[in-house]
Amino acid sequence: MIKWPKASLIGGVTILLLFVMSAFAAHLLTPALTSIAVTPDLDAIVPDKIGEWTKQTDPFLQVGITAGDDNPVDQLYDKVLMRSYRNANGDVVMLALAYAKEQTQDIKIHRPEVCYDAQGFTILQHTIHNMPLDNSVVPVHRLLAKNNSRTEIVSYWVRIGDKYPNGGLDSRLEILRSGLKGKILDGILVRVSTVVEGDSGLDIAYDLQEKFLVDLLHHLDPQARHLLVASN
């Protein structure tokens, strides 16, 4: 019968216990990730008539909501809505909503400045404007983009969870923080764009886009509204 040295036996048991405890601790510290279960029906949520704005046939082909063919829409987003609206003065705004139930480091919303650049536009201007909304503000990114055939102004925001990340790095950090807490955040891109003639009258055009966005939010029920804007 082989007799193991007492010290070796105790050491072996200690190492085994450490392995077991480490595995158990790793299991406890690994978050059980949860995400949104139901995909909202954007077509049903967003009305055809929004105040003075009425849905119409798209007069222009909207710029896509991905950065290229390597990122198919159905891999990035669970639901997409793209419409145009016209008011009584003949002003037209193009609305794009792109919703994703799960924002991860590999799959997340593409920001419009990236999409426009990938589709042949030059971004001439990029500013951030705080849009008042009841008792809060929404940080709206404003772009001026131009290609060989047209000039567009764009107003947009990206909501991830209850935050409005300022850029790609902010998005990654927010996704990381939520993942450590065991939660996968949803996200949505809210974008409006307008074709303009030259660079004159841009402030008026941006103000018109803001009016449309505020009208849109005020014509949604509370649950749908919190889909587009942060609830805090």
pLDDT tens per residue across span 221-230: 999 999 999 8
Residues 127 and 13 in one domain: no
Residues 85 and 157 in one domain: yes
Residue 7 lies inside a defined structural domain of this protein: yes
Q: Name the residue range of residue 1's domain.
A: 1-30
Residues 11 and 97 in one domain: no
The DSSP secondary-structure symbol of 13 reads H
Residue 206 lies inside a defined structural domain of this protein: yes
C-alpha neighbours within 13 Å on the C-beta side of residue 69 = 0
10 or 123, greater pLDDT:
123
Residue 203 has what pLDDT? 94
Residues 18 and 79 in one domain: no
Residues 177 and 101 in one domain: yes
With pLDDT > 70 as the criterion, what percentage of the chain qualifies? Answer: 78
Average pLDDT of the chain is 83
Residues 62 and 139 in one domain: yes
Which residues, in sequence order, are CB contacts of 13 under 8 Å at separation 6+? none
Residue 192 lies inside a defined structural domain of this protein: yes
Distance of CA 162 to the CA centre of its chain: 11
Residue 83 lies inside a defined structural domain of this protein: yes
Residues 23 and 113 in one domain: no
Residue 37 lies inside a defined structural domain of this protein: no
Residues 21 and 102 in one domain: no
With pLDDT > 90 as the criterion, what percentage of the chain qualifies? Answer: 53
Residues 9 and 61 in one domain: no
The domain total for the chain is 2
Residues 49 and 26 in one domain: no
Residues 153 and 206 in one domain: yes
CA-based nearest residue to 144, from 122, 120, 124: 124
Residues 161 and 49 in one domain: yes
Residue 36 has what pLDDT? 53
